[in-house]
Structure 1
Amino acid sequence: MATNLAIDPELLEHAFRVSGERTKKATVTVALQEFIARREQAAILDLFGTLDWDEGFDYKAERAR
């Protein structure tokens, strides 16, 4: 899918240098992948502390079944 974007040239050039990628397309692709991964990780962090733990659960006894 071809898409034309107006990206800040200084920002793109900085990302290009930092990423070490050989093309602008690869740089933008890596940046989008990292953006998505960080957002998904943040969503997972929101789940911490939301589970109810059964303090009486004996995982060793469950293994012996």
Structure 2
Amino acid sequence: MRTTLDLPEDLLIEAMKVTEIKTKTKVIITALEELIRKSKISEIKQYKGAIDLNTEWL
């Protein structure tokens, strides 16, 4: 999907440098994937201590 975005260029360039990603598209895709991953981890953390994950029986 093509979308026009107005992004801070310095932020985009810094993200490309620290991740060593060569394209703007890939760095934005990576950022979105990481945002989703962190959100899912945050949701899972709410169950800490509520579920017994003892796998000794496996």
Check whether TM > 0.5: yes
Q: Root-mean-square deviation (CA), in Å?
A: 1.9
Give the aligned partner of residue 49 of structure 1: 49
Deviation at 1:21, TM superposition (A): 0.9
Of the two, which has the highest radius of gyration?
1
Stretches of structure 1 lacking an aligned partner (at least 5 in a row): 54-58
* TM score, norm. by length of structure 2: 0.79
**Partners in 1 of 2:13 and 2:5 — Cα distance?**
15
Stretches of structure 2 lacking an aligned partner (at least 5 in a row): none
**Partners in 2 of 1:3 and 1:43 — Cα distance?**
29
**Partners in 2 of 1:24 and 1:12 — Cα distance?**
7
Give the aligned partner of residue 16 of structure 1: 16
Deviation at 1:49, TM superposition (A): 2.9
Percent sequence identity over matched residues?
27
In the alignment of these two chains, the number of paired residues is 55
Q: Would you identify which runs of 4 or more consecutive aligned residues in structure 1 move more than 4 Å?
A: none
